[in-house]
Amino acid sequence: MTDEADRGRVVEFAIGGMTCAACSARLEKVLNRQAGMQANVNLAAERARVRLTEAADEAAVVAAVAKAGFTAELVDGQTREREKAEKLRVYQREIRRFWIAVTLTLPLVGQMLFMFGEHGHLNELPRWLQLVLATPVQFWIGWRFYDGAYKALRGGGANMDVLVALGTSMAWGFSTVVTLFGLNQHVYFEGGAAVITLVLLGKLLEARAKARTSEAIESLIRLQPKTARVERDGQWVEMAVEALMPGDVFLVRPGESVPVDGEVVDGESSVNEAMLTGESMPLGKRAGDKVFAATANGQGALRCRATGVGEHTLLAGIIRLVGEAQGSKAPVQRLADRISSIFVPTVCAIALATFVGWWIYSGDFAEALVNAVAVLVIACPCALGLATPTAIMVGTGQGARAGILVRNAEALERAERITVLALDKTGTLTCGLPQVTDVVPRALAGDEALCLAALLEQNSEHPLAKAVVAAGTAVQTGSDERKVAGFKAIPGCGVEGEIDGRALRLGSPTWLGLAADSVVGELQQAGKTVVALNEGESTLAIFAVADALRPSSRLAVSRLRERGIRVVMLTGDNAATAAAIAAEAGIDEFRAGILPGDKAAAVQELKAGGGVVAMVGDGINDAPALAAADVSFAIGAGSDAAIEAADLTLIRSDLLGVVDAIALSAATLGKIRQNLFFAFIYNVLGIPLAALGWLNPVVAGAAMAMSSVSVVSNSLLLKRWRPKSQAGR
């Protein structure tokens, strides 16, 4: 069995019926107790991601969720639309119920304004009328709290619904007894009705705010075109994007969005890829260039061949990654989870102690009851449960808009604490496209030597070989029909072969006995890689190849160092070339001559020094090092293996994206800390104040309703975050 099979498959479910953090914590505990299930439940997203082994299946998850008192639906391509329609229907129904509750509650609360003064009791509504007004609010409008409390208790837990149902029922029950038996006591119908109305208002505001936290992924989904113009038997036919297959040729007219990932066959245009990279400047596209689904075509028409369709487009991958990140749980959430699991029983115990204490202290049953109700009503586990996931959802969404894809919340949390950043050189610090910069003739003219070198290298896959072939092709006056005989590649040295009977070798100066050559030394000191062409012992020419530093690399290194991050460059180049590139980039520390397989060992060595070590790379040979790092970044233009191994992917091939990602991590973690502080301080202050009799149940209900709204609203402030690297380059 493969490792993937051992780990199991991950399935996502839409969960219905959760009302607070106690619900999500209890459901997660229930699922994790089942054989073959490993679950992560997200209250804000109303999702459960479950890893299933062969011991469990989807039906078992649905059954376990139902037994816990909730509903579960397997997420598929249509789930989001069905969910939106259902949520809109429920929201509209709750809006109607809220206004009915307001209509019934206002007379009860309004009478309180006229009850102050010597004869205030004369302005009190008849108690039978108060009972008539309060009862529908308590048992019809407030039925959702009874239903939620029953399901929670049936499942062996307790949630916010238990607190609201218990507190308001105590107020209504006491007032009803006083009314029916004509007792000389104050009634609290207005308290129970007002609490239910205010909590319902808070839930409606919370639902609106929570819907906004997922706007980023919704906007990505809306970008996907529905149809495409596809070539069939020489005719252009409009068809659904879902029907396209790899290899299909499609047309993108001026102003249209690209339907799927592809490669330009013919035509020229500029394409705005801001939705992928965050860069506002359009990129020129011509034959051979790649185009991506949902990017906006400019003025020209492009005829393209599909390379990625359906779930295999870059956009689909982004949506998938953002969804996974939004559903993941940051380590900082663990404390809130532990507190939420014992929150409701603790509050009930405090309320009981408050009731008993006040009854003994004052001898007034009504006063003791009111203070106990205030304790039950003001306690809010929702704020704790929403503090982390709402910030994660908004933060990862904003990251996706800026071309930063976060694989999971844990990586986002660690990124803020990076102390050491290891950088691959080629393709990360540099553009990754080596070019021949110098040709030094010796025993042969430069152009002829370059043509011979290009012929030798045409069968090699080495990046330097491609640079030599490109330079040789550029100086040819016509087609070169000469053949290479006896071609042989010597790993780590170079290549050799015969052209027109001449035995030629092209490779490193050390291999060819030129290590002490002054010209070779000067070129290497300039940060260039040197190769030479020899015939026997005679040197025909010396070539210098350089991979230019990305324009933004020096600024990125500077900003990383300003954050106190130690930057280390890892490269397989010789020490002289590495030193030159490092100096140009503003890097003081580097490791030269590192073979691809040794990069992971270099990262482990850095980790041994303490701190949080991150790695940035773009190639297949960087994947082991990326996996070894505490936090890993893949440059988007890199290989699939590097992207798969990385915690964060930078769609824009720009090192400044790492600076942006660290800034995003700091901003998101800042919001999480603020949210947790607000949630904790609210409960730490509110519950004692209620227990001391300093809070009326109505005020407590309003405070509880607004606590969750304030936490979600604070998270939404992250929408103001923008990558600073876009300006001032």
pLDDT tens digits along 289-345: 889 888 888 888 999 999 988 777 877 777 776 666 656 666 766 666 677 668 778
Tell me the C-alpha to C-alpha distance, in Å, between residue 103 and each of 134, 193, 312: 11, 11, 53
Higher pLDDT, 610 or 280: 610
Of the given ranges (548-557, 562-571, 633-642), which has the lowest mean pLDDT? 633-642
d(CA 698, CA 115) in angstroms, rounded, equals: 16
Tell me whether residue 189 is exposed, middle or buried, using C-beta atoms within 10 angstroms of its C-beta: 0 to 12, 13 to 18, 19 or more. Answer: buried
Tell me whether residue 434 is exposed, middle or buried, using C-beta atoms within 10 angstroms of its C-beta: 0 to 12, 13 to 18, 19 or more. Answer: buried
**For residue 697, what are its two tokens?**
């149940």
The confidence score (pLDDT) of residue 115 equals 47
**Mean pLDDT in the chain?**
82
Predicted confidence band of residue 395 (pLDDT cuts 50, 70, 90): confident
Predicted confidence band of residue 14 (pLDDT cuts 50, 70, 90): confident
3-class DSSP assignment, residue 19: coil
Q: Please state the three-class secondary structure of 622-638 as a single string.
A: HHHHHHHCCEEEEECCC
Region 631-639: mean pLDDT is: 72
Tell me the pLDDT tens digit for each residue of 227-255: 899 988 888 999 888 888 889 999 999 98
3-class DSSP assignment, residue 18: coil
Residues sharing a CB contact under 8 Å with residue 685, sequence separation 6 or more, in sequence order: none
The confidence score (pLDDT) of residue 324 equals 66
Tell me whether residue 519 is exposed, middle or buried, using C-beta atoms within 10 angstroms of its C-beta: 0 to 12, 13 to 18, 19 or more. Answer: middle
d(CA 574, CA 163) in angstroms, rounded, equals: 69
Catalytic residue flag (residue 3): no
Higher pLDDT, 77 or 706: 706
Higher pLDDT, 5 or 381: 381
Predicted confidence band of residue 638 (pLDDT cuts 50, 70, 90): very low
The confidence score (pLDDT) of residue 686 equals 86
Are the C-beta atoms of 376 and 352 separated by less than 8 Å?
no
The confidence score (pLDDT) of residue 2 equals 40
| Residue given tokens 């679950």 in the structure block | 39
- Max Cα–Cα distance, the chain, nearest Å: 121
d(CA 94, CA 157) in angstroms, rounded, equals: 26
Percentage of the chain exceeding pLDDT 70 = 85
Continuous segment of H or E residues that includes residue 354:
helix 333-362
Active-site residue (options: 161, 261, 337, 424): 424
* Helix, strand, coil content of the chain in percent (nearest 5): 55, 20, 25
Tell me the C-alpha to C-alpha distance, in Å, between residue 646 and each of 248, 630, 642: 31, 10, 6
One-letter amino acid for residue 126 of the chain: P
Q: How many helices (H) and strands (E) does the chain have?
A: 25, 26
Q: Please state the three-class secondary structure of 437-493 as a single string.
A: EEEEECCCCHHHHHHHHHHHHCCCCCHHHHHHHHHHHHHCCCCCCCCEEEEEEECCC
Predicted confidence band of residue 214 (pLDDT cuts 50, 70, 90): low
Tell me the pLDDT tens digit for each residue of 641-679: 545 667 888 887 788 989 999 999 999 999 988 988 888
Name residue 49's beta-bridge partners. Answer: 12, 40
Tell me the pLDDT tens digit for each residue of 97-128: 999 999 998 888 777 655 444 444 555 788 89
3-class DSSP assignment, residue 678: helix
| pLDDT of 557 strictly over 90 | yes
Predicted confidence band of residue 3 (pLDDT cuts 50, 70, 90): very low
* Strands 612-617 vs 631-635: parallel, antiparallel or unpaired: parallel
* Strands 227-232 vs 529-535: parallel, antiparallel or unpaired: unpaired
The confidence score (pLDDT) of residue 387 equals 79
| pLDDT of 189 strictly over 90 | no
Q: CA Rg, the chain, in Å?
A: 34
Tell me the pLDDT tens digit for each residue of 536-554: 889 999 999 887 788 889 9
Sign of CA dihedral 432, 433, 439, 443: positive
* pTM for this predicted structure: 0.67
| pLDDT of 354 strictly over 90 | yes
Are the C-beta atoms of 225 and 294 separated by less than 8 Å?
yes
Tell me the pLDDT tens digit for each residue of 473-526: 888 776 777 888 888 888 778 889 999 889 999 998 989 989 888 899 888 877
The confidence score (pLDDT) of residue 637 equals 53
Higher pLDDT, 131 or 78: 131
The confidence score (pLDDT) of residue 118 equals 47
Q: Please list, residue by residue across 633-647, b when 16 or more beta carbons sit within 10 angstroms of its beta carbon and e when fewer do.
A: bbbbbbbebbbebbb
Higher pLDDT, 390 or 423: 423
Neighbouring C-alpha atoms within 13 Å toward the C-beta of 178? 18
